[in-house]
Every structure is written in structure tokens, then in C-alpha cells.
Amino acid sequence: MSAVLQNLVNQPYKHGFVTDIESEVADKGLSEDTIRLISAKKNEPGWLLEFRLKAFRHWLTMTEPEWANVKYPKIDFQAISYYAAPRPKAKLKSMEEVDPELLRTFEKLGVPMHERAALAGVAVDVIFDSVSVTTTYKAKLAEVGIIFGSISEAVQTHPDLVRQYLGSVVPSADNYYAALNSAVFTDGSFCFIPKGVKCPMDLSTYFRINTQDTGQFERTLIVAEEGASVSYLEGCTAPQFDTNQLHAAVVELVALDNADIKYSTVQNWYAGDENGIGGIYNFVTKRGLCRGVNSRISWTQVETGSAITWKYPSCILLGDNSVGEFYSVAVTNHHQQADTGTKMIHIGKNTRSTIVSKGISAGQSSNSYRGLVKVMPGALGARNYSQCDSMLVGVKCSANTFPYIQVRNPTAQVEHEASTSKIGEDQMFYFAQRGIGAEEAVSMIINGFCKDVFQQLPMEFAVEATKLLGFKLEGSVG
């Protein structure tokens, strides 16, 4: 039966192709000049150039972190091109104006953008190699005062808002990759939900790395004012390349009083081949600040891709009664490595957090959950519940759980549950004895294992995630 599982997990990457759009690519290498070039290309105000340069100067003094449970060769930051843009064209007002080659790309990905937008009512801010190509539904969102678009555009149209919040949750000196991102980010999304507005639709961005050897440095900033709420979807796929690509994004969320932000990710970057050659290094800093009372930030992630995943979507629970949530499924196969989890920092009174993490390892992969629950002295009555489950598929993979718990208030309640299970021979035999083949059996078991997390995903994402796990694990059980 082992062979069947092997085949299941070993399906080739389905999204491996390069779109032939002429790119304007900066020379490789990183210096203050590179940063000035990026800033000038984007016609940025002086304060933003200063923000970048300050981050860069700090980055030069930092050393690459090595504490994560992942192994990879040293990255040569001078061998990366820090800017690639599709040839400048006039701003697009409708889908018809979009490069048909680009539309075909999305269709190959199974994300026919126009259909998606029309049928699902999703506004898609398409990020294609760092520059926002088109934004749909902007007008409709503008009616209720929502600003949703590329962050470069927002820098031009709403500089004060961007300046107020950029770096307020993830400071430019926060960590090595966040500093790098702050110095060289080229684009990303900006979303602002004003006071009292419930965003009438899910907001969605599809990211895609398209130019070989181009590092991606996305910067996303979402602000929900008092009583506002928004659900944001981020989905990723990347084409197949042999050289490793660095992806160091920063996502910042700010929730004011009674605001609610739900951030969902399906990540399927190219993971490398079955021998561990190639694949994306996904080193991401995601953090949400529950600044106001009764605010809520919820992260849901389905991580199936990348050669290395290193990310800890976190919540700082500053406002009293604020709520942080983290729901995660991380799947690794072949030689993939994942070190992912969350940080819940309880500062305000009666703050609550929930962590549900499901790790699935197959092949020779390594899958680690790393999480911090920190209760500060002022966090009276803080509560946390953590559940970390690992599932092993085969005998050559590994799963680890590294929970860090720091409690400095005696009224806090912190619970941690962990389990490790295997897709066992007896389970597979039970399915087989009822006529059900190995592929379907594995898919059913895995989906059952991940149910608590999938339930948190918006409908169409849940369907996508289920399919994704199916073909990710095809051939690995047995």
C-alpha cells in the first residue's frame, strides 16, 4: 500500500509555468542606491524613502536568524534582483484591458479572475510581480468608504493613512526579514475599513512570483477602524523554477475598538521537486494588533507549498476583552521544511486567544509547530486554549511541537493539548475492506483531521484547500 501513498504525494506541481510578459528587472544586488531606485521608480514621498533607508541601515547590523528548525544554504542577498515590474502601461479600468496572457495565467491556475469576481462577489487586487495591475470592485467599495488597492497607490492617494500605520505593528527593525522587507518592498495591498463599516464582500488578493530570481517583498497593511469588520483572503501559487526564490513578506493588521479582521491564507508556492531541488523560501512576518477594546483578529492559514516555510502570524492583544485566533494547517512532503505557529501576547484585561494547529508531514519532510503564549502582568483574567495535532504519513518524516508559555499573571488560564497520530495500516485496511481505495481514504482522513481549521475558511477557499491537500498528499500514504 506504501507505493500507492507514494504516488499520491508525488504528483508534480500543477502550477509550474512561466508567463511570457516582458519584465522590467532591476540589476541584481542591494545597496542604498537600489533602494533609492525603487523609491524613485515608485515616485514615493521623502518620508517613505527615509523609512526604507533606516530599515536598510539597521538590517546591515543584523544577522540572519538561525533558531528555526530548518536547514538551507546561505542566501546571497546580492544575487537577488529587488525590483521587477511588467512594462509600464496605462492604468486599467476594466478586465478587457488586462493583458490576455496574464488572464490566461490565472485561468491555468484555476482562478478565472473575472468569473471569480463576478460569481463570488470578490474584489481581486491582482499583484503580478510586485506591481498592481488591476483592481476590481474598487468603486463599489469606495461607496462605503473602503480603500482597497495596492499599497503603492495608497502611498500616492492616502499618504497620511499609510504613514500613520506603516510599521506600527511590525517595526522596521523587528527582525532580519522584516527589516529587509521594510527596505525593499515593492508592492502589496492596502485596505482601510472606516469606522462602523462592515465590508460588504470578502477581499481577495492573488500573489504570484513570475520572474526567475526575483525576490518578492510584499507589504500588506489592513486597518479596521472602530466597529469595522473585514474578511481578507490571500492565495498564492508560483511557477516552477530550479533556483530558490526568497519571499519575505510583511503583513500588518490593526483593529481598533470593536473591530474585527479575519485574514485567511492558502499558500501553495512551488515547493521544490521530490529531491528537494528548488522551491520558495517563505520567510514571512505577519502580525495583528488588537489595539481597541473588544477587537478581534483571526488568522487562518493553509500552508502546503514552499521549500521552507517560516512564519508565525501573531496577535498582540492590547485592548481589554480583545480576541486573537490562529487556525493552521501545514502540510509538508518530500524535503519540505516548515517551522510555523503563532504568538499570542496578552496585555489587556480578559483577553482571549485560541490556537488550533494541524501539521501533516509526509515523505522526508520536517514539520514543526512553534508557538508562544505570553501573558503580561496586567492581563487579568486572560485565557488561552491551544491545540496542536501532528499527523505522520510514512516513516521518514518528522513532526515537532515547540510550545513556549510565559505567564506573568496568576489569574490567567492557559491550556495546551497536543497529539501525534499516524495514518495507520489498520485505518487504511478498514477503508479498503469497505471497497475504498487508498487515495480516497487518505483524502478523507486528512480532511477529517483538518476539519476544525477548514471550517474557519471562507467557502470557496475551503473547497480549494481540500483539493490542494488531496493532490499534495497523493501517493504518500501506505
Which residues are at the interface with another protein (CB under 8 A)?
Answer: 1, 421, 424-427, 429-438, 440, 444-445, 447-451
CB of 428 to another protein, least distance (A): 8
240/427 with CB nearer another protein = 427
- SS3 category, 11: coil
166/442 with CB nearer another protein = 442
65/424 with CB nearer another protein = 424
173/444 with CB nearer another protein = 444
CB of 390 to another protein, least distance (A): 14
Burial environment of residue 274 by CB neighbours within 10 A (0 to 12, 13 to 18, 19 or more): middle
CB of 437 to another protein, least distance (A): 5
CB-CB contact of 211 with 241 (8 Å)? no
164/455 with CB nearer another protein = 455
312/327 with CB nearer another protein = 327
CA–CA separation, 174 and 468 (whole Å): 33
Distance of CA 20 to the CA centre of its chain: 26
Burial environment of residue 243 by CB neighbours within 10 A (0 to 12, 13 to 18, 19 or more): exposed
CB of 434 to another protein, least distance (A): 4
Element (H, E) at 58: helix 46-61
CB-CB contact of 394 with 477 (8 Å)? yes
Q: Is the dihedral of CA 303, 306, 312, 314 positive or negative?
A: negative
Indicate left, alpha or beta for 471 from its phi (over 0: left) and psi (-120 to 50: alpha). alpha
344/441 with CB nearer another protein = 441
* Cell (9 digits) for 270: 512551488
- Neighbouring-strand partners of residue 287: 252, 314
User: Cβ–Cβ contacts within 10 Å for residue 105, how many?
Assistant: 24
CB of 115 to another protein, least distance (A): 26
